[in-house]
Each structure stands twice: as C-alpha cells, then as structure tokens.
Amino acid sequence: MMQERLLELQEEALQKVAAASELKELNEVRVAYLGKKGPITEVLRGMGKLSAEERPKIGALANDVREAIATKIEEKQKALETAAVNAKLATETIDVTLPGRPVNKGNLHPLTRVVEEIEDLFIGMGYTVAEGPEVESDYYNFEALNLPKSHPARDMQDSFYITDEILMRTHTSPVQARTMEKHKGQGPVKIICPGKVYRRDNDDATHSHQFQQIEGLVIDENISMSDLKGTLDVFAKKVFGQDREIRLRPSFFPFTEPSVEVDISCKICGGKGCSVCKQTGWIEVLGGGIVRTSLKWLASIPRNILDSHLESAWNGLPC
Amino acid sequence: MFVSYKWLQDYVDLSGINATELADKITKSGIEVERVEKKSEGLKGVVIGHVLEREQHPNADKLNKCQVDIGAENPVQIICGAPNVDKGQKVAVATVGAVLPGNFKIKKAKLRGEESHGMICSLQELGFESKLVSKDYATGIFVFPNDVEVGRDALEELGLSDEVLELGLTPNRSDALSMLGVAYEVGAILGREVKWPVVEKEEAAEKATDYISVKVEAKEDNPIYMAKIIKDVKIGPSPLWMQTRLMSAGIRPHNNVVDITNYILLEYGQPLHAFDYDRFGSKEIVIRRAKDAEKIVTLDEAERTLTPDHLVITNGSEPVAIAGVMGGADSEVKNDTTNIILESAYFAGTVVRKASKDHGLRSEASARFEKGVDPARVREAGERAAQLIAQYAGGTVLQGAAEVDGLTMEPAVISITLEKINTLLGTSMTVSVVESIFKRLQFGVELDNETFTISVPTRRGDITIEADLVEEAARLYGYDNIPATLPIGSATPGQLTDYQIKRRKARRTLEGAGLYQAVTYSLTSQEKASQFALEARESIRLAMPMSEERSQLRLSIVPQLLEVVKYNNARQIDSLALYEIGSVFFKRDEQELPEEKEHIAGAITGLWESHLWQGEKKPVDFFVAKGVIEALFDTLGLADQISYRQAEINDMHPGRTAEVLLNGEVIGFIGQVHPTVQKDLDIKETYIFELSLKALAEAEVAPIAYQTIPRYPSTTRDIALVVDQATKAGDIQDIIEEAGGKLLKEVSIFDLYEGDRMEEGKKSIAYSLKYFDPERTLTDEDITKAHDKVLEAVKEKAGAELRG
Ligand SMILES: [Zn+2]
C-alpha cells in the first residue's frame, strides 16, 4: 500500500518536472515533493504502523524516490538555466561585419627603416655607429681625402659652399677622419657612418640635392680585400635581398686603392637589360676599397686598412 | 670614350669574343662599359642605290622624280625632296618594306600623283645625330663615294652594323682614351698580342727644316714639339671607312686632313693640329705664354683675349693657336690649302686646362692634354698622320721634322713582394700568376725570388706606387677570384651609444603614438629658415644657392612639416600626424662650423580619432599633441623633470601655446599654429611641437626605482576646488603635492567645469588624492591631518574654495 503510494508520487512528480517551463515552477515542484511538508515525508511518517520487516524496505524505497525526483529536478534546472542564458545572449547579438575602431599607428620613414636595419646588421658584426656634422670644413670633406682644392674631380659647382672653407658635406667620409683623430690608433676600428649629404643636383625623380649615405670603415691588423668582399657580400644580400645577384668590379676613388664597385642585378628586368639599368642588367649601388695610405688622417697608422664606402646606395631615394 | 668593336680588331684579335662578352670582360677588369650599342638594331632594308635619272616632279617644285638602280632587276622610281639629289650619285635607299629608326616603315606611296617606291635617306634619317653629320650633307641626302657597289647593305657601309662600346673612364685611366690604349687593356685581359699600325716613312728629299723652324720659350709647358711639312695636298673628303669610324667615336667628319688628325687623336690619344703653311705668316714657330690682352680669332670665328696664363703657338709675332685648345682662323686648313704644317706636341695638362676653362673650349684634344698624353708616342703619332695625309690627300711628306724634345722620360720603377700583394688582397696567387699579369700588361718585369721589380711604361702614368701594382694584380686576377671572408681579429663590442638608443626610443614612441616620420630638406628659404625657431639666432646662407627656395640652413623643422601638411591638405588628406628628427643649424663665427643641434618636431592636424558609424569624432587639440610629447618624456624617463609654461611665440596661437621646460630650461614649445598663419598656408587647425632632442637625450635620468605591490591599503579623497578662471591647474597640483607631504602618493585631475552654473570668472577643478603608507595602514586621523594641510594650502596659495 505504502509502496504503491510512493511510486505513484514519483510518477506524479516527474511529470510535473517535465512540464515545468520556468525555474520558479520547478522550484515549486521541489518544495511540493521534497519539502518537509511534502507527501513523501507524510508517507514516511506513517511508517510506524509497518512491521519491522517492512520498515527498512519502505525506507529504502522512499530514499530512491526522493533521489530520482531530485536528479530530474537538477537536470531540468540546468536545462532551464542554459536556455535562459541563451535567450539573453540572443538579444545581445551584434553585426560582426561592421568595421572595427581604427587604431592610430605611425610609421618610420623608409630611409630610417633601411638605415636602422643596416646599423643593426653591422652592430651584430661588432661595429659602432659614428656620426658627424652635416656642415663640414673643406679640410675634412675634401683635403683629408686626397682631394686638394686643385683636384679636377672637385668643382665648386658640385657642392654647397657657405664660405671658402665651410660647406654642406658631400659625403659621410669626413666622419672617418674625425673618428680616427679621436681614436689615435689604439686598437681596431669598426664603424659605420650613416647620414645626410648634400650635392648640387636638380631635384627630380632620381636625383635630390639632399640624400642619405652610409659608409663603413674597418682598421685592423691583417685585414684584406677579401674581408671587404665578404662584408659587402653580407651587406648587399641583406639589404637588397638574397635573390639578387651581386657583382664586384674594380673601380677608382681618390681615397681608396684598390677600389671596388658593387653592382646588383636589376630588379626591374631580372638582369636581361632595360632602360633603368641602361641595358646592362646591373645597377651600381656602392663603392669601396682599401684606404690609401697617403691619406693624412692615416699617417700614424701603419696597418693594413680596409675601408668600404657604402655610398650611392640611396642616391635614388628622395633625401 | 666610344670604342668600335670592328676598329678594335685592327689591333687585337677578338675572334671568339663578341662585343657583349668583351664588354663584360672589360667591365670586370676595371673599366666600366656603360653600354654596347648597335645602331642598326631594328633597322632593315636600306641598300646602296645609283641615281640613274633625275627630273623635276611634274606637280611639285621642290620634289625630284628619280629612277634609282637598287641592284634589283629593274630600277625603281623614287620621289625625293632633298635639294642635293642628282643623277649619277650613289645613295642610301630605304626600299619598300624597310624599317628606319623610330620603327618608321617604308611603304609604296604616291606623292602628288607620282609613285614612289622607297626613300633616299639622309644620315639623320638613318639615325645619325645631326652634330655628327658632315656639313656637306647637313641638309640633304648622303652621297657615297662612287666606288661603292650598288645593292649592298647601306647600313653596313655606313658602319651602323658595327657595335660600339661606351667606356666610362675613371680619372686615372686616361691611357684608355685611345684605341691603342684600349687595345693594350683588352690585350692584357685576353692575354693576346697588340698589333701596332705600321708607319712606313716615304719622305721626299726636301727637308722640313728648310721650310719651318721651332722655338719653345715655355719649356715646362711644352717639352716636346714636332712640326712636319706635307706639300701639295688636295683637300677633299676622307675615305668612307675613316668617316664612319670618326662618327662611331662621336666626331664629325670635315675633310681629309682634319679627319686624319682626328683619326690619330682617336687611335693614339695624341691630339694633332694642321696649319695652312701658306697662311701661317712666317717660317718659324714660337711657343710661348701669351702676352696680357693679346688677341686671337679662333677657328670658331670668335675673338679671344689671352692672358699670360695661356700657352700660345705663334708665328714669331702673332698667336696662331691656343696650345692644345683651338687653332686660329687665319691659318685654318681650307679647301684650297695645298701645304701643311702638322703639329704633334706634348703640352702640360695644367696650362691647357686653364685655357680651355677660361675660354669655355673643352674638346677631345684639350681633354687628352689635360689628363696627360703619352710622351713616348708624340713623334710616332705625328709620323703616322703625315703618312696618312700623303696617302689620302695626295701630298708629299718632307724629310724629318722641325722639333724640340726636352722631356726626359724614365719609366717608373716599383718593387713589390708577392707576400704584400697576397696579404692585401687576401689571395694566394703564385709567383707565376702575378708575373703573367704584369707581362700581359706589357710592363717590364724583373723577378728576384718573390720580389717583383716593375718598369711601368709611360702610357700608364697612373701607376706610381705599390698600391697601384696591387690594384693591377687584383683587377686582372679578377675580383671574382678574390675569396669572400669576414675580418677575424680582436673582437669589438658592437653597440649604439646612449644618445643613439634614446633617439631610437623617441622614434618608437612617436611611431607608437601614431605619428609618421618625415624627412624634409635642411635647406630652405630665408623666410622659413627662422620661422618657429626655438632660438632666435641668425641663419646661415649658402654662398651660391641653386634657388632662393633652398638658400638657407634651417633653424627649425616645423615650417617644412607644415609644408607637408599643406601638400596633404591640398589633396583632401585632412588628418595627419607627422614628426621629424633632424639637425638645425645655428650661426657662429664666420670661420667656425655652425652649431648643429638635433631637434624633434611634430605636426598634428584633423581628426585624432574617428569611428564614424559609432558617431565618434575626436579632433586634434592641444592636449592630444601634449599627450604625445608626454609619452615621449615618459619613455625617456624625464616626466618628472618637465614642466610647461604658457607662452607667446611668434606665429603661434597666443592662448594655446606653451614652452616646454626641462629642469627649468626652455627646450621646446608646443601649441597651435596661429590661425592667421594657418590661413596664409591654407592649412586646417594644426598643432605643432619642436623640442631639442639633444637636450632631452643628454639630460640625466634618475635610475628607475621599482616599487613592490603595496601590502597596505590606500585611501582616496576627492576634492573639487573653485578657483579663478586664470588659475593654472598645474600650479594647483604643485601646491597640493607640496602640501600633501610624503603620505600623498598620487594626484590626478578628474573633472574640469567652466560652465554657466559657475560664478562669473570662476571654474571648478576636481582632484583625486591618493594617500598611502607602505609601512602600515593609515588611520582616518593620519589622512585627515594630511588632507587638511592640502585644503589649507590651496585656499591660501591659490584662493581656492572647496566646492559644496
Ligand atoms: Zn634592368
């Protein structure tokens, strides 16, 4: 009799759980069936009338019934909660295809980016970055580089003079002389010198009266032309790309001997020849060589000297 | 220098090497071949024709109707407008189907009712530059010598199918300013022999010295002078092959005698001059410095005034030529000339350079003297020219020459060891490799163990020291064969200086803040040079500016940045944030280099933030710009040392400008460009700053103090203060910070109210004050004590009242 009543209650409760559509309703079911005043408690209260034999049986059954109902309520509660959250989130839906909020982002000038890249490359190889004034004395800009005033390669028309003895530097080479004077021949020298230089060129697509140069200088015992070649090779591949071919050819500068010029294969035509490379397939990018021992600022340094004037690399870029 | 591939074969065997391969080899050995040109490239269908008949076009005055044999079965009719076309001429005919320069295709045509099957060509129509075309054919068709074969390729006959190498010579390689010089170079590169032209003297019994004498008064300027006499010449055109060779080298043909002197100039690199003997005016040649204000009318019919800086050839009384530069008009070789004085001389470079510069006469000849001709070839060049004149102008060469030879030439002798060469180059050449290089160069080589003693021929005046020999060895060994190594030696630390690191930090910060880096010109106009200058100092002017626009060194960067803003504004780009790091230049004493300081400047305009569909727009204002530089100071660790002071600066908004101070020193400014200036420049509201990067980077920075996360709670008290409109928030903040003592850890402004609910002339500023002690929890009493001090101080010092 009691047993039947319990099973009946279970059946009844589970139906109500299934039918509940809100948390509130579900809670009412919980209170109604599992509460202290609920029908199951009432049934158990009548257990005193049962035999000692039957009592534990009914007790166990009553617990099973409670458990079954509680489990179902729990399950249902989770389901209802999830549904409620989903319903709320559904109202919060946005249009993800709308554009995002712009972030202000700046940029380095392309020249600076290249210069920093080169600086970092050379710093990695043990160089320091030397700098000097953009307005120079004639001595540092020309005379200290074997270019006395009578030299045919030196025309007043090519430079921006301020007075007879002061001018806008036409290359970064004066920095080498300045560095050496300070250095006084103690230990090796490994520098690169980036900077702005000025020449009397009319500004057009490929010329500018102001442009960027970088050059390097190494002074050490037992360094050679092959070291210069290796260094320029590393440099050119890094700056112009591993896929570009590099050609070294002999050249002439008043401050180096032997001198070298470095060409890279033309990017436009891939080396076949076009108007940019004057049909040669090559573009001249830089020059260098072994510093002439006749240079005044080298007078006190009885060593083999390696120099590389990594110039004209940026000639084409606007300042 | 233009080098004809075909002509070069007169001196070096080039079999197996085409022009392009040769160019590559020459370039790799040190003389850059700038281009290889084949003028006939893309052209076709031009043949030698024979004008059989010529008559006036029936319907056109200026046209000729010609019947021309072009080597085909039947002659063709060609209508030709050239004034000089005539019966019997051999001419270049572009036949139907021919292609001329500019991809101009020749088709059958009808001209005023008469059929034309082709075109008779001028040299210009075949691609020759006008300046290279002989004056005889300048305005008409070119007429070939009569011995050319009809039907042959006219392009070939004119040397257009030849390939010409254009050499870009560096100043040290003037030895290659001649075909023979190039032949030596090519011979050395290829390891092939150089064949010299054979000079066969055929001289009359009469002696040149019976006709002319030579006296040199300026021996240093003119150590060698030789005059040959050639009698009974007949002036006329030079042979076609010679004309085409001259044109290929960029020289216009004139007549046989002049062409031969130019031909020798190209072949030997030795400039020559021919005088008309009968017009020379005397029987003596005297070479001396010109007298002051002495005059000469040169070949170009210009009267030139001379000075003692110039060397002249005279007839004993008057100048007949400016030595090495240009001959005089009086003694010029003309069509009726029969007797010739042929000059071959060595003039010093300096004196020739001076004259060519002073008179603006730079020529193939003067350029060679300036760079130094080979003293060993002066006489031979003269002999060969005389021989060619006899051959092609039909004259008789008199015996010997009137000459002065005062130059003692000794070849330079230089010793160098194999080890020295290999150490400098990083190579491991053997003795025999190096020896063979010097021998290929035709240098004298003596070898003692591993020491070379080299005698350098006079044609290579550029080689005087050891390093020159190292260079010769390197370039002929081939730069490709030098190994690529990296310096090994004592390690040196590679690093940026403190200053350079800070400059990079500044770049990163401004980039991160959304500014684009600009690089503008250091040279600017007078007006812009000192506009917005941080320091009112004199600007520096170039001695010879290219334009007023670029005549002064800038004292500030801002004007150039505003130009960039203007440029962008004019192109509908309204929002812009820029900065530049660069030098500005301050004048010092005339003899001294200017003071250069690195500045950092910015210009910001338009919208700072905008998110249109959300309806947000934040225009740039003072505080946007200030935020940017505050970030910069923070990155550089200088935030505590910086202060701002309201300032009036020319061309700046009087109410929206501040000086920036570093430890009390003005190091820059920030603010809005004055609206009038904005209007003049046609730019929108723009905020700018310019700071001394040098000052910022060189300032001492307190070491970074790391703070632990606090263990005790902090307490915040907010106050709203009512103050006069003119009172500065920063000043109040200073007062609060000072009064708050060490318990006050942070002060921040969280509200500013200036609206109509305030009393006239007042404003309200709200501050948030954070009290904290790292050692303990503060009691209410502690805080109140500190806070009361603050309230008292602001009341007393700033007249602030607590807002209810
Ligand atoms: Zn190309």
C-beta atoms of B491 and A137 within 8 A: no
B488 lies in some domain:
no
* CATH number of residue B725's parent domain: 3.30.70.380
Q: Is pLDDT at B777 greater than 60 in this prediction?
A: yes
For residue A187, give the chain B residue with the closest CA. B490
Each as own residue / partner, the long-range contacts of residues B499-503 (CB below 8 Å, 24 or more positions apart, any chain) are: B499/B697, B499/B698, B500/A129, B500/A131, B502/B636, B502/B693, B502/B696, B502/B697, B503/B581, B503/B598, B503/B693, B503/B697
Using an 8 Å CB-CB cutoff, list chain A residues near B485: 224, 226-227, 229-230
Residue B359, SS3 per DSSP: coil
Q: How far is the CA of A202 from the centre of ligand 1 (A)?
A: 24
Question: Does the CB of A307 have a partner CB in chain B at under 8 Å?
Answer: no
Lowest mean pLDDT among A238-247, B288-297, B515-524, B576-585: A238-247
Please tell me the predicted confidence (pLDDT) of residue A296: 63
Higher pLDDT, B580 or B731: B580
> Are residues B307 and B338 both part of a single domain?
yes
Query: First-to-last CA distance in chain B?
Result: 93
> Are residues B255 and B303 both part of a single domain?
yes
pLDDT in tens, B514-556: 999 999 999 999 989 989 988 888 889 999 899 999 999 999 9
Residue range B393-416: average pLDDT?
Answer: 87
- Which amino acid is it at B584? V
> Are residues B49 and B150 both part of a single domain?
yes
Band (pLDDT 50/70/90 cuts) for residue A298 is low
* CATH number of residue B556's parent domain: 3.30.930.10
Nearest to A257 by CA among B461, B488, B435, B469: B469
Lowest mean pLDDT among A287-291, B380-384, B581-585: A287-291
Q: Is pLDDT at A312 greater than 70 in this prediction?
A: no
C-beta atoms of A224 and B515 within 8 A: no
Q: End of a domain among B657, B672, B698?
A: B698
Euclidean distance between CA atoms B670 and B668, whole angstroms: 7
Which of B39, B163, B414, B471 is the mutation pick for testing A, counting most A CBs within 10 A?
B471
Higher pLDDT, A245 or B157: B157
Residue range A170-196: average pLDDT?
Answer: 83
By the 8 A CB rule, do B623 and B646 touch? no
Residue range A10-37: average pLDDT?
Answer: 87
Q: Into how many domains does chain B fold?
A: 6
Please tell me the predicted confidence (pLDDT) of residue A303: 42
Which phi and psi (to 5°) does residue B584 adopt?
A: -120, 160
Using an 8 Å CB-CB cutoff, list chain B residues near A221: 489
Question: Does the CB of A188 have a partner CB in chain B at under 8 Å?
Answer: yes
B487 lies in some domain:
no
Q: B123: burial class by Cβ within 10 Å (0-12, 13-18, 19+)?
A: buried
C-beta atoms of B491 and A126 within 8 A: yes
Q: Count CB-CB contacts under 10 A for residue A299.
A: 11
| Residue linked to tokens 């005016």 | B281
Q: Is pLDDT at B164 greater than 80 in this prediction?
A: yes
> Are residues B346 and B462 both part of a single domain?
no
Which of B27, B353, B617 is the mutation pick for testing A, counting most A CBs within 10 A?
B27
Q: B223: burial class by Cβ within 10 Å (0-12, 13-18, 19+)?
A: buried
B8 lies in some domain:
yes
Structure-token pair, residue A165: 């003895």
Euclidean distance between CA atoms B160 and B451, whole angstroms: 49
Portion of chain B with pLDDT greater than 70, in percent: 100
Lowest mean pLDDT among A55-59, B467-471, B496-500: A55-59
C-beta atoms of A161 and B542 within 8 A: yes
Q: Is pLDDT at B686 greater than 50 in this prediction?
A: yes
Q: Count CB-CB contacts under 10 A for residue B422.
A: 18
Please tell me the predicted confidence (pLDDT) of residue B359: 92
Euclidean distance between CA atoms B42 and B19, whole angstroms: 17
Beta-carbon neighbours within 5 Å of ion ligand 1: A 266, 268-269, 274, 276-277
Alpha-carbon gap: B462 to the closest alpha carbon of chain A (Å): 11
Structure-token pair, residue B285: 């040649």
By the 8 A CB rule, do B29 and B200 touch? no
C-beta atoms of B544 and A156 within 8 A: yes
Portion of chain B with pLDDT greater than 90, in percent: 64
- Which amino acid is it at B23? A
Q: Is pLDDT at A313 greater than 60 in this prediction?
A: no
Residue range B288-311: average pLDDT?
Answer: 93
> Are residues B659 and B582 both part of a single domain?
yes
Q: Count CB-CB contacts under 10 A for residue B643.
A: 14
Q: End of a domain among B353, B379, B405?
A: B405
Q: Is pLDDT at A302 greater than 50 in this prediction?
A: no
For chain A, positions 210-249, list CB contacts with chain B under 8 A.
Answer: 210, 218, 220-227, 229-231, 233-234, 247-249
Please tell me the predicted confidence (pLDDT) of residue A297: 60
Residue range B632-641: average pLDDT?
Answer: 93
pLDDT in tens, B79-136: 888 889 888 899 999 998 889 888 889 898 888 888 889 899 999 999 889 889 988 8
Q: In sequence order, what are the beta bridge partners of B690?
A: B601, B669
Euclidean distance between CA atoms A131 and A134, whole angstroms: 9
B706 lies in some domain:
no
Structure-token pair, residue B39: 């003028």
> Are residues B597 and B746 both part of a single domain?
no
Using an 8 Å CB-CB cutoff, list chain B residues near A231: 486-487
Residue range B664-691: average pLDDT?
Answer: 95
| Residue linked to tokens 């010093």 | B348
Alpha-carbon gap: B541 to the closest alpha carbon of chain A (Å): 6
Structure-token pair, residue B155: 């392009």
Question: Does the CB of A252 have a partner CB in chain B at under 8 Å?
Answer: yes
Euclidean distance between CA atoms B628 and A169, whole angstroms: 33
> Are residues B439 and B536 both part of a single domain?
no
* b/e code B227-258 from CB counts within 10 Å (16+ = b): bbbbbebebebbbbebbbbbbbbebbbbbbbb
Euclidean distance between CA atoms B29 and A249, whole angstroms: 7
- For residue B724, CA distances in Å to B361, B734, B752, B766, B793 come to 80, 16, 13, 14, 16
> Are residues B19 and B69 both part of a single domain?
no
For chain A, positions 269-288, list CB contacts with chain B under 8 A.
Answer: 278-280
Beta carbons within 8 Å of B539's beta carbon, 6+ residues apart: B526, B529, B530, B552, B553, B554, B555, B585, B587
Q: How far is the CA of B618 from the centre of ligand 1 (A)?
A: 48
Band (pLDDT 50/70/90 cuts) for residue A152 is low
Q: Which CATH number applies to A110-132+177-313: 3.40.640.10, 3.30.930.10, 3.40.50.300, 2.60.40.650?
A: 3.30.930.10
C-beta atoms of A225 and B591 within 8 A: no
Euclidean distance between CA atoms B740 and B744, whole angstroms: 5
B490 lies in some domain:
no
> pTM of the predicted model, to two decimals?
0.79
Please tell me the predicted confidence (pLDDT) of residue B71: 87
- Which amino acid is it at B146? N
Which phi and psi (to 5°) does residue B696 adopt?
A: -65, -45
Count how many pairs of residues, chain A against chain B, have C-beta atoms within 8 Å. 227
Using an 8 Å CB-CB cutoff, list chain A residues near B20: none
Using an 8 Å CB-CB cutoff, list chain A residues near B171: 152-153, 252
Alpha-carbon gap: A87 to the closest alpha carbon of chain B (Å): 26
Euclidean distance between CA atoms B142 and B247, whole angstroms: 14
Using an 8 Å CB-CB cutoff, list chain A residues near B483: 226, 229-230
Q: How far is the CA of A285 from the centre of ligand 1 (A)?
A: 14
Q: Count CB-CB contacts under 10 A for residue B427.
A: 19
Q: Of the segments A138-152, A254-268, B177-191, which one has the largest average pLDDT value?
A: B177-191
pLDDT in tens, B315-331: 999 999 999 999 999 99
Q: How far is the CA of B471 from the centre of ligand 1 (A)?
A: 29
Kind and range of the H or E element at B791?
A: helix B780-798
Residue range B668-692: average pLDDT?
Answer: 95
Please tell me the predicted confidence (pLDDT) of residue B555: 95
Using an 8 Å CB-CB cutoff, list chain B residues near A128: 492-497
Read off the DSSP letter of residue B711: S
Q: End of a domain among B372, B390, B405?
A: B405
Nearest to A319 by CA among A173, A167, A115, A130: A115
Whether the bond between B237 and the residue before it is cis, its omega within 30 degrees of 0, is no
DSSP readout, B541-582? E-SS-S-GGG-EE-S-SHHHHHHHHHHHHTTT---EEEEEEE
- Which amino acid is it at A221? E
Residue range B555-559: average pLDDT?
Answer: 96
Q: In what order do the strands lie in the sheet with B516-517?
A: B516-517, B576-586, B595-605, B686-692, B665-673, B652-662, B642-646
pLDDT in tens, B32-58: 998 898 888 888 899 999 989 888 888
B312 lies in some domain:
yes
Please tell me the predicted confidence (pLDDT) of residue A157: 63
By the 8 A CB rule, do A166 and B531 touch? no
Partner residue facing B35 (CB), from A162, A210, A280: A280
Instruction: Quote the domain boundaries for residue B63.
Output: 44-157
C-beta atoms of B608 and A104 within 8 A: yes
Query: First-to-last CA distance in chain A?
Result: 104
Mean per-residue pLDDT over chain B, rounded: 91
